[in-house]
């Protein structure tokens, strides 16, 4: 049972480059989320998706693009990376099968933008 | 708007001491509250949710709607409890996203 996975786990890139972070879940959860984790800010929602082909902005969407062509995948793209996007990125998924908004998190991707 | 406040960035206690991590929220309806834990460089894991009223790893949390609080408590802290703890809130009706507090780092010293 792989659950929810992210790749790469670590990435170093340069300012201005495009970077795509991958997220894959095996539970067929309808909902998927991208967060960034920064010291002093906790977790902030970047984008989320309620189903394939349905996405919506979170608290800090600027500079990011998402897509969801398949239920199990939710890639996050930084179109032109900036140093302020250096962060740890977490993907999460959720289902309301049990009547709860509990989210399950991936292992994170540590991104450094030089 | 919904908001979660964790007033302490760092809480340092000795092994065996009681622990209380504070969480206050702002939400106009009936929220769903969670505590997540993140051990060093690991993924976030659900610790507790108020609707299940369970005790996990000795931790408990009670939703106090009058004080809009969901404090996390443990009577005797263990060194392995050292981690970052996040309180999170979700709107109760239908589906909504989670709003996280900024987290409290718990350090338990021997």
State pLDDT tens for residues A29-87. 999 999 999 988 999 999 999 998 999 999 999 999 999 999 999 999 999 999 999 99
Question: CA B43, CA B54: separation in Å to the nearest integer?
Answer: 22
Q: Which residue has the tokens 């919904």?
A: B2
State pLDDT tens for residues A8-25. 999 999 999 999 999 999
Question: CA A11, CA B32: separation in Å to the nearest integer?
Answer: 35
> Closest to B97 (Cβ–Cβ): which among A48, A96, A108?
A48
Q: Which residues of A touch B36 (CB under 8 A)?
A: 105
Contact B27, B1 (CB under 8 A): no
B32 at A interface, C-beta within 8 A: yes
Question: CA A87, CA A10: separation in Å to the nearest integer?
Answer: 11
HSE of B102, CA atoms in CB hemisphere, 13 A: 10
Q: Are strands A76-78 and A87-94 parallel, antiparallel or unpaired?
A: unpaired
Q: Quick one: pLDDT at residue B94?
A: 59
Q: Quick one: pLDDT at residue B92?
A: 59
Contact A35, A44 (CB under 8 A): yes
Q: Mean pLDDT over residues B78-101, rounded?
A: 87
Question: CA A65, CA A57: separation in Å to the nearest integer?
Answer: 10
Question: CA B84, CA A102: separation in Å to the nearest integer?
Answer: 18
Q: Quick one: pLDDT at residue B91?
A: 77
Q: Does the structure show a pLDDT above 90 at B20?
A: yes
DSSP secondary structure code for residue B29 in this structure: S
Residue of chain A whose Cα is closest to the Cα of B91: A101
Q: Which residue has the tokens 């408990």?
A: B60
Question: CA A4, CA B48: separation in Å to the nearest integer?
Answer: 20
Q: Quick one: pLDDT at residue B50?
A: 83
Beta bridge partners of B13: B108
Identify the burial level of A63 via C-beta atoms within 10 angstroms of its C-beta, where 0-12 means exposed, 13-18 middle and 19 or more buried.
Answer: middle
Q: Quick one: pLDDT at residue B55?
A: 81
Q: Quick one: pLDDT at residue B93?
A: 57
State pLDDT tens for residues A99-111. 678 899 999 999 9
B103 at A interface, C-beta within 8 A: yes
CA dist list (Å): A47 to A29, A43, A59, B10: 16, 12, 8, 29
B102 at A interface, C-beta within 8 A: yes
Q: Mean pLDDT over residues B81-90, rounded?
A: 96
Going by C-alpha positions, the residue among A9, A33, A29, A85 that lies closest to residue B42 is A9
Q: Quick one: pLDDT at residue A45?
A: 94
Going by C-alpha positions, the residue among B35, B29, B4 that lies closest to residue B91 is B29
Q: Quick one: pLDDT at residue A38?
A: 94
């Amino acid at each position: 049972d792989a659950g929810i996975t992210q790749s790469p786990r670590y990435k170093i890139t340069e300012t201005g480059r495009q970077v795509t972070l991958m997220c894959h879940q095996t539970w067929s959860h309808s909902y998927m989320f991208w967060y960034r984790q920064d010291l002093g800010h906790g977790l902030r929602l970047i984008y989320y998706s309620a189903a394939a082909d349905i996405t919506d902005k979170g608290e800090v969407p600027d500079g990011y693009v998402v897509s969801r062509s398949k239920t199990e995948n939710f890639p996050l793209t930084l179109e032109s990376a900036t140093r302020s996007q250096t962060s740890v990125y977490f993907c999460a998924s959720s289902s309301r099968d049990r009547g709860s908004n509990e989210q399950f998190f991936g292992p994170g991707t540590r991104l450094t933008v030089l | 708007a919904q908001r979660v406040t964790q007033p302490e960035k760092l809480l340092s206690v000795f092994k065996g001491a009681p622990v209380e991590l504070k969480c206050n929220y702002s939400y106009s309806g009936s929220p769903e509250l969670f505590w997540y834990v993140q051990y060093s460089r690991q993924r976030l894991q659900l610790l507790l949710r108020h609707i299940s009223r369970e005790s996990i790893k000795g931790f408990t949390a009670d939703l106090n709607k009058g004080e809009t609080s969901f404090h996390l408590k443990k009577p005797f802290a263990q060194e392995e409890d050292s981690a970052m703890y996040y309180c999170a809130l979700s709107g109760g009706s239908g589906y909504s996203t989670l709003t996280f507090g900024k987290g409290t780092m718990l350090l338990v010293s021997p």
